[in-house]
Amino acid sequence: MEMETELVLSSSLHYMLPRKRAVGGEAVVVEVEEDNCKAGSLKKPRILTATIGPAEATGNVNTNSSIGDNNSNHSRGDAKPPIMALGEGNPPDIDEDLHSRQLAVYGRETMRRLFASNVLISGMQGLGAEIAKNIILAGVKSVTLHDEGSVELWDLSSNFIFTEDDVGKNRALASVQKLQELNNSVVISTLTTELTKEQLSDFQAVVYTNTSLEKAIEFDDYCHNHQPPISFIKSEVRGLFGSVFCDFGPEFTVFDVDGEDPHTGIIASISNDNPALVACVDDERLEFQDGDLVVFSEVQGMTELNDGKPRKVKNARPYSFSLDEDTTDFGAYEKCGIVTQVKQPKVLKFKPLKEALKDPGDFLLSDFSKFDRSPLLHLAFQALDKFIMELERFPVAGSEEDARKLISFACNINDSLTVGKLEEIDQKLLHHFAFGARAVLNPMAAMFGGVVGQEVVKACSGKFHPLFQFFYFDSVESLPTEPLDPSDLKPINSRYDAQISVFGAKLQKKLEDAKVFIVGSGALGCEFLKNVALMGVSCGNQGKLTITDDDVIEKSNLSRQFLFRDWNIGQAKSMVAASAAASINPHLHIEALQNRASPETENVFDDTFWENLIVVINALDNVNARLYIDQRCLYFQKPLLESGTLGAKCNTQMVIPHLTENYGASRDPPEKQAPMCTVHSFPHNIDHCLTWARSEFEGLLEKTPAEVNAYLVNPIEYTSAMRNAGDAQARDNLERVIECLDKERCETFQDCVTWARLKFEEYFANRVKQLTFTFPEDAATSNGAPFWSAPKRFPRPLQFSIDDPSHLHFVMAASILRAETFGIPIPDWVKSPMKLADAVSKVIVPDFLPMKDAKIVTDEKATSLSTASVDDAAVINELIMKLEKCQKKLPPGFRMNPIQFEKDDDTNYHMDVISSLANMRARNYSIPEVDKLKAKFIAGRIIPAIATSTAMATGLVCLELYKVIHGGHKVEDYKNTFANLALPLFSMAEPVPPKVIKHQDMSWTVWDRWILGDNPTLRELLQWLRDKGLNAYSISYGSCLLYNSMFPRHKERMDRKLVDLAKEIGKAELPPYRRHFDVVVACEDDEDNDIDIPQISIYFR
């Protein structure tokens, strides 16, 4: 059992956030309080050595490591001075353009802790290289690579850094240059001589990938007892088996166990009771669990709960919970209130390796069908260590004698156990383990590189729950289904020898001759390309890999799309990625395209292209593209390997013809959208404010200028279209265009300042005054309930002040963008607060008078704020006349410059306007404001992404790729996975088989497509179906009916070729590359029961 206590950290500690990566350490007093202690009985305070670093929440301090050691000149005793790559170790601060997706996962404080951390990686074979890649991309202060060995041809099966030219060089030295290219702000150095314990004192985390148990125990003891403790990780990949062990010291504090935002609820009622019952509005389900601590705010009436004291949740339900508190004597609840989860730090007590080997505790499981596998692998890895110590070599692949020896070692270790002794040892599994023990396979290295890379981040930052303490994994299902001939496992002096020693030369040949399609070359695509290049996929004479992506490289890609460099920004992703993959393995036969795979490009990805493929690998970032590729794979009956990531989470899904359901067979429910009236008039969280802000940004700065240009380019056509539409939307469009070209037209920059100042008044004062005039604070609904009841929040207007920097910032950013739309030069003085304040002071702001008949939408089902009117047509005619007058006043050739929202450029003022709009609105409604970065995540809909989960997902998929290309596996051999590296959680299960439809002695699934060749007539198709006991009553092509038994005239079509009917009636365009078309047939059986049959393909060429 893992031991834990909760830390309550003094809120009186305030810490300056460091501006640079290097920070110094100092001592902090932290009080540890027991959960159930009586008032006044506190545990004795302890002095903990800690670096003052930024905290994820108030008072969170990393007490586990001397984060921020300024001394990067590691003392190495008699060792040679390190070879150090050129890299700036102290950047001024986090580059938010580069790390935006990673910041969305970790937050600034975790990133700064990372930036102050020094990491050692010992063993630079495939696993070491993958771990190094992931933590260098994450951005630590320094990485020291240790390896005493030389590059062998064998290493090229799993290490993406090495080439054949590196054979014979020291592994660490050969790794520096390519790893340094990943992130110039990380100092990378090397050690090429034997490590001593004393050298470890300079590091916050040390990782060993290829060391004996004896040495590992010695190093771990030193790290465990060091002050402060050094986080120790030991990981190995041996063929299709892998292990991880973590020891982060006697007491390691986790500040954020899962990385999720604290859950919140909007209160509807609280009882005066013991325990009190708290009910919340049914806007969203509560995510609280029994035992959670929560705090209350904004409660009216029962104000005693607003004291900030954490209280315990009991009996948690979807929309209510009990509070472990007696509220009998509290004030009666009146209205309002927010309840928020308090995330508690957690202290883990790790055992050193020496103890943990004998008493490993609970193993972290990945596959419940193998729940008894971990204790056996715990023995197997110890037996392998003993084998290597005694024989000074690895077992030889295919050697029965070596396998027996390793099994004997395992049995002896098992017999010596007093606790946890196994009753039976699976000798077949240990045979597989022995045969592949020397090999480091790329997919295994990629997967474990992700897992271990994430553990290093946890060790350095206290973010996410560490792996506690052993994790074992195997993928023996990836082996060929038939027994392997030992002679097939022998090395052939090729770069694939390590892989051949596990899978045999026959499967290697299949891999090399495979025709593969990778869709997308972003983060997943880069990892897949690296993996398949190392595996030798499509590297033979018959093989071909096609990759396509229509995107170009941006700066924000570089923190995880590791094949790209800063000099590639602006270039095509697929071209750069293909070139980089070919440099990993020059034998790779790859074609890079820049076409989006879609119905519009079926002339590029035509029937012949799809029919020749062996497998498709998706590396996409949106559901619609995935569904399209899924349909293509269904149609052509091709395996599809699907994966995706979201922050520290990842999932993989295997779509195998006739064995599994397809990707589109199950869908996630659509995300809940806030009603339009909530976003526009009744926001109650910052997401609503940001949704509104982005909508206003696009309306003011993109859509309206574009609408103006549409009119100016062709006034006659535009006004004619508006007259023909004659609806509220057309009226609104015309009003916006006239407003833009008439009273809101800007000719000077002062006009833009005036516009921005008046927009502030309109948005944050006048609209609120109108809303509260129409619905006063004491307003009631038609059934007598208070109108302003939860979740609605009563707003207050803002009073503009030139002394408020946020008010001036809004005016500055908005006036700059307004000037851009009108092509007005932007003066330097706009960035001077004093000069801008002078310009704002010149603006005359008219007094506001509320309207008595203002229409404010309160219907949550309304989809538009425009209200139709019987006079729309007449009003539109008047507006067109006004517009024509406006046009005459414009200079010749006048056009506006619409601004398209771009979130990833911090110099363009787009996010300044959106975050200012959202925060001012939040201030109206007393909603907590957010900084520009958080606003960018929400308004820019940024998907959180990190390199570790991406690497793990692609490693898991490539373990399935072995099975697909071999071709003889059953559905139970395949694995779908969901993993969350933050927890950590691994959940693997066999895929769901497809639904089977039966008729007479036939059966079919969604995978089946019936094919009728030889250019048949309609009569021949009907007879072909009758022979199957099916009576067709309707045949359609697209939306056109080719035949219906109810229409007598359709009988005249019986002897016509179906292709001619499709061209004539269905207007089918069948280009030369198309050899067939598809029809949908509705059928009945002889008892008139409808039968769903597969799509039918008619081949006419």
Q: Which residues are catalytic?
A: 677
Q: Rounded to an integer, what distance in angstroms lies between the CA atom of residue 796 and that of residue 784?
A: 24
CB 379 within 8 A of CB 417: no
Instruction: Tell me the CA distances in angstroms from 17 to 56, 69, 461, 581, one per residue in order.
Output: 11, 16, 14, 40
CB 314 within 8 A of CB 324: yes
Instruction: Tell me the CA distances in angstroms from 509 to 502, 537, 669, one per residue in order.
Output: 14, 9, 43
Structure tokens at 449: 């590189």
CB 480 within 8 A of CB 503: yes
Strand ranges, E, within 205-331:
205-208, 231-238, 241-247, 252-254, 264-270, 276-280, 293-297, 311-314, 320-323
SS3 content of the chain, % helix, strand, coil (to 5): 40, 15, 45
Angle at 514 between CA 510 and CA 519, to 5 degrees: 145
The continuous run of DSSP H or E covering 337 comes out as none
Closest CA to 771 of 857, 699, 693, 700: 857
Q: How many residues does the chain have?
A: 1101
Closest CA to 701 of 896, 832, 932, 520: 896
Closest CA to 199 of 270, 122, 259: 122
User: What's the one-letter identity of residue 725?
Assistant: A
CB 549 within 8 A of CB 521: yes
Residue-wise over 183-207: b if at least 16 C-beta within 10 A, else e? bbbbbbbbbbeebeeebbebbbbbb
Q: What is the DSSP letter of 766?
A: I
**Ordered alpha helix ranges (H), 479-522:** 497-503, 505-512
Q: Rounded to an integer, what distance in angstroms lies between the CA atom of residue 267 and that of residue 784?
A: 20
Instruction: Tell me the CA distances in angstroms from 788 to 334, 682, 851, 940, one per residue in order.
Output: 12, 9, 20, 31
CB 325 within 8 A of CB 339: no
Closest CA to 409 of 432, 389, 436, 435: 389
Query: In this structure, are strands 640-646 and 649-655 parallel, antiparallel, or unpaired?
Result: antiparallel
φ, ψ of residue 976 in degrees (nearest 5): -95, 145
CB 656 within 8 A of CB 971: yes
Q: Rounded to an integer, what distance in angstroms lies between the CA atom of residue 308 and that of residue 292?
A: 15
Say how far residue 111 (Cα) sits from the centre of its chain: 17
- Strand, coil or helix: what is 819? helix
Beta bridge partners of 242: 237, 473
